[in-house]
A and B are shown apart, each in its own frame.
Chain A
Amino acid sequence: MAASPLRPRILFVAKFGAVLLVLYAVIALNQVNDAVIVPFTEVVARASAGLLRAAEGGVDAQGTIMHSARFALDVRNGCNGVEATLLLAAAILAFPATLRSRLIGLVICSIAIELLNIVRLSSLFWLGEHYRQVFDLFHVAVWQSLIILAAISMFVLWSWKFAERPVAKSR
């Protein structure tokens, strides 16, 4: 008889939601925001400006703001890749796996997400400079969804490749 998949799914979603809330509560603390998130966002802004500088000159970053003579972009929470990393972390932590597997997944996937986010910010800045009329569409819908999709794809791949199955099922 095929087992109903609903109960484990509900449990996973409940754990995922709970972990997501806890992680959000941590990054929402002013102390964490000021000591970790803002400096990290500044690094992301600098890296994105650096990537763009390799393609076209005149782009720089000051604090969390990327700027050129024609356009400026303030990288805020929601654009620094932390939200996608939290979503991924919540999914990995909610899924049954060993600590080692979780750590491997978290480290590799977080780095991949942040690298992708640097590409995202660079391309958004470039769009803002050259095609301002489509900037909002790409900012709100396209890149946001792509980053989250990348995070979910990484989670699914991780759960296939690294998560360990229960003894009863592996026999």
Chain B
Amino acid sequence: MLKDLWPNLAKGAAGFLLGLALWWGLSAPYARLLATMTEPLIRMVERPAVTRLIAGGTELTIDRDDFPRSSPRPGLTLMDLTANIILLTTLFAVNKRPVSDRNIRGFVLASLALAAVHIAAIIVNMESIYALRLGPWSERNYSAFARNFWGAAAHFYSIIGVFGAGFALWWLFRPSNEVPQDSGKSGQRKTVKNKRVPAR
């Protein structure tokens, strides 16, 4: 394991820089894509369907047809929500054969799943803004439970969910034999006491 330390660090650094470049360089077009994909989903479930998401640079402005014209529109900074692409890119770069078909296929699938996570994160954050930040309007339209729920969900994503999702998607989509396999039956199986898994 340790003999692979420097190559792994080099691959990790390259992946980290690639992820940083993707995150930074594509943030504006990605914001437009996310706005285009998220708005119909929100409108599908809200009654009346009045929410509009307007991408401007790396920020999404949340607008509603029923907002007073003179009131300021809340915004959502997407860079915080999408920083987990850096983690995902780095983790796939450290895999044994980073440019193999299997690894790239896994990375593409994980990135697509991550985009779905980003859409969900936008919806959660938007609901948390609706539920908590619009004063009397929030109190009129959201129950105490709903306000707590959306507030906690947005906080969970920003504190830990954002990177937890990146890690979980890497674990799911990485090629086999990159890390020790979890048998998935920890409660049922026996273990050999004091026998360690040999380092690979």
Contacts and interface: CB of A to CB of B under 8 A. Distances in A.
Contact of A144 (B90, B163, B181): B163
B171 A9 contact: yes
Nearest to B83: A141
Interface residues of B, number: 47
Contacts of A2: 176
A167 B190 contact: yes
A95 interface: yes
Contact of B80 (A10, A16, A97, A140): A140
Given A78-B159, A86-B160, A12 B184 contact: yes
Interface residues of A, number: 53
A127 interface: no
A5 B183 CA distance: 9
Contact of A90 (B86, B164, B172, B196): B164
Interface stretch (A54-62, A108-116, A151-159): A151-159
Q: Determine the main DSSP class of A at the interface with B.
A: helix
A170 to B, nearest CB: 5
B164 A96 contact: no
Contacts of B26: none
Q: Determine the main DSSP class of B at the interface with A.
A: helix
A28 B159 CA distance: 11
A95 B189 CA distance: 13
Interface stretch (B37-45, B119-127, B150-158): B150-158
A122 B171 CA distance: 32
B168 A16 contact: yes
A98 B193 contact: yes
Contacts of B185: 96, 166
Given A20-B164, A145-B87, A167 B184 contact: no
A145 B191 contact: no
A164 B92 CA distance: 25
A77 interface: yes
Given A12-B171, A83-B160, A164 B196 contact: yes
A87 B161 CA distance: 9
Given A96-B191, A166-B183, 7 more contacts: A8-B181, A90-B164, A96-B186, A141-B24, A149-B90, A164-B197, A169-B183
